[in-house]
Amino acid sequence: MKKFLWFGSALLLCLSMVLTACRGGNNAESSGSVNNTEGSKESSDKKVKLSILSWNNEKEMTPVMEAFTKKYPNISFDFQTAPPVKDYIAKLQTMLLSDSATDIFIIAAENRNEVIDGGYALDITDQPFMSAMVDGNKPMLSKNGKTYAFTQTGWAGGLFYNKELFEKAGIAEIPNTWDEFIQDCLKLKAAGIIPLYDNMQDVTTIHNSLFANLQLSKDKDIDAKIFAGETTFSNTWTEVFKIWKKDLIDNKILTPDMIGLSGDQIVNEFALGNVAMFPGGPWNINTLEQTNPDLKFDMMPVPGPDPSGGNYFAGAPGVGFAVNAKTKYKDEALLFLQFLASPEGLKDFETGTGALITANGYEGKVHPAMMNAYKNGLMAGKVYLPMVSWPRHQEALRSQFVVSMQDLAVGKVKPEEVTQALDKKFKEMENK
């Protein structure tokens, strides 16, 4: 018995020592607090190491962090990164739960509800630098009229198309209606060119655009109504899946074997001229130009079946930088956000990340291929992304969407069953 007690005590002691060591320490090199953020004269007297968790990698963040450190030499960074989306969310979640989250982290569409509802992010609605954030970017990072993160970016995506392959198939101009789009795909097929690759591993740009054209254009609150129980996925999305199945799957423009393609393979195939179109965004441009500098490409929206609905791009505000509500370096963290919102910070962020800057009063660099998406999509408000528009259960619904869409592509279910599965998942999540 004594042996057991001794052994148990030793085990407990060691466990408590290990757990204590595991507790996140602060990064202070000296303690103290700063109460103003404007210029922060006091903060310049003490050395602080701000911790950041971002899903931009270190290379992308270096220009803006270096410029900030140059301006505020007393503040240095403990930079951490995790790739988007799931890895980042899982890492941040672990950190938040174990009270070891970084001073600054990012909030994405996929985890905004949990982070904001959990009280993990500081309310920054009234910070002076928030005037740089465009109003269109605020709803995604806000709740009950309060904004919890700052974003200076937005993105728009559509269909990249190969101009030379279009010419080869006799397509003189990009399609403006859904029927023209399908006809052009068939023309490409007839010319021996693979019209389109889409690996159906996410809520696709085509689905986004079809839904926006058919439903959102008529009722901008349609998603809110689904989530309020006033309508259902079956009522609003079935038509989208019917059109997608009839025109793209049945015509073999999209084929089930594409499910096995990785995103990188699709980009490479497009860059090498083996496929005429693929859904993508600004993040693909560097790879396309590096893989094939001679490639002539542009981006177009997926044209909708309803001529009165207009054509939509996929798109959303970029992820937002938030300040940890429990940070000991609130002033310094806010100072960094203030720097991000300044013209200098915006330029450095643009240089490092290549992101589309949508901040007030800043004219960003836009790649010529992205100009249509930027002007007629992002800046015209003709972008839609369910993950942003759905107020809750985004990840659960996205997973169900992908699984059911793949089942539809391989002929296992009917369009009606896809939307019924979405309604079932929604109910399950509401009752969890």
Partner 1 sequence: MVRLMRQLQFQIFILPILIVYTLFSIYPLIKSFVLSFTNFDGYTKAYDFVGLKNYDLIFSDDAIVSGMSYTLIFAFFSTMLITALAIPLALILDQRFYTSKLHRAIFFFPSIPSGLLLAYIWGFILAPISSGVFNKVLKELFNLGPQPWLSDPLLAKLSTIVVAAWASTGWHAVLYLAFLQSIPKDYYEAAAIDGANRWQQIRHITIPLLAPAMTISVMLLLTGGLKVFEIPFALTRGGPGFETHTITQVIVLRGISETQYGLASAMSIVFFLIVLLIAYFQVTFMQKREERNR
Residue from 1, 5, 18, 21 binding partner 1 (CB under 8 A): 18
* Bridge partner list, 432: none
- In terms of DSSP bridges, do strands 146-147 and 142-143 run parallel, antiparallel, or are they unpaired? antiparallel
Residue from 11, 28, 190, 371 binding partner 1 (CB under 8 A): 11
Residue from 48, 115, 156, 277 binding partner 1 (CB under 8 A): 115
Tokens of 43: 């903060």
Helix (H) or strand (E) holding 119: none
| All residues at 6 or more sequence positions from 212 whose CB lies less than 8 Å from its CB, including other chains | 304, 309, 312, 382, 384
Residue from 8, 9, 14, 73 binding partner 1 (CB under 8 A): 14
Stretch near partner 1 under the rule CB under 8 A, chosen from 91-99, 151-159, 222-230, 317-325:
91-99
Residues numbered 116 to 135 that lie near partner 1 (CB under 8 A) are 117-118, 120
For residue 383, is the peptide bond before it cis, meaning its omega torsion is within 30 degrees of 0?
no
Residue from 26, 265, 286, 291 binding partner 1 (CB under 8 A): 265
Q: How far is the CB of 165 from partner 1 (least distance, A)?
A: 16
8 Å CB contact between 193 and 328: no
Q: Which of 208, 171, 177 is nearest to 190 (CA)?
A: 171
User: Can you tell me whether residue 132 is helix, strand or coil?
Assistant: helix
Under the criterion CB under 8 A, does residue 57 sit at the interface with partner 1? no
Q: For partner 1, which is the closer residue by CB, 69 or 113?
A: 113
Stretch near partner 1 under the rule CB under 8 A, chosen from 55-63, 84-92, 246-254, 350-358:
84-92
Under the criterion CB under 8 A, does residue 259 sit at the interface with partner 1? yes
x/- map, 395-424, partner 1, by CB under 8 A: xx-xx--xxx-xx-xx-x------------
Stretch near partner 1 under the rule CB under 8 A, chosen from 12-20, 48-56, 177-185, 221-229:
12-20
Q: How far is the CB of 190 from partner 1 (least distance, A)?
A: 18
CA angle 311, 315, 319 (to 5 degrees): 170
Q: How far is the CB of 316 from partner 1 (least distance, A)?
A: 18
Question: Cα dist. 415→197, 204, 396, 421 in Å?
Answer: 21, 15, 19, 10
Residue 108 half-sphere exposure toward CB, CA atoms < 13 A: 22
Integer-rounded Cα Rg, in Å, for the chain is 24
Stretch near partner 1 under the rule CB under 8 A, chosen from 8-16, 35-43, 126-134, 166-174:
8-16
8 Å CB contact between 81 and 53: yes
Stretch near partner 1 under the rule CB under 8 A, chosen from 33-41, 100-108, 382-390, 394-402:
394-402
8 Å CB contact between 77 and 332: no
Under the criterion CB under 8 A, does residue 24 sit at the interface with partner 1? no
Stretch near partner 1 under the rule CB under 8 A, chosen from 37-45, 86-94, 283-291, 356-364:
86-94
8 Å CB contact between 124 and 337: yes
Q: Can you spell out the DSSP letters for 191-250?
A: TT-EEE-----SS-HHHHHHHIIIIITT-TTHHHHHHTTSS-HHHHHHHHHHHIIIIIIT
Q: How far is the CB of 264 from partner 1 (least distance, A)?
A: 9
Residues numbered 238 to 257 that lie near partner 1 (CB under 8 A) are 256-257
**In the complex, which residues of this chain contact partner 1 (CB under 8 A)?**
2-3, 6-7, 10-11, 14-15, 18, 86, 89-90, 93, 96-97, 114-115, 117-118, 120, 200-201, 256-262, 265, 269, 274, 393, 395-396, 398-399, 402-404, 406-407, 409-410, 412, 429, 432
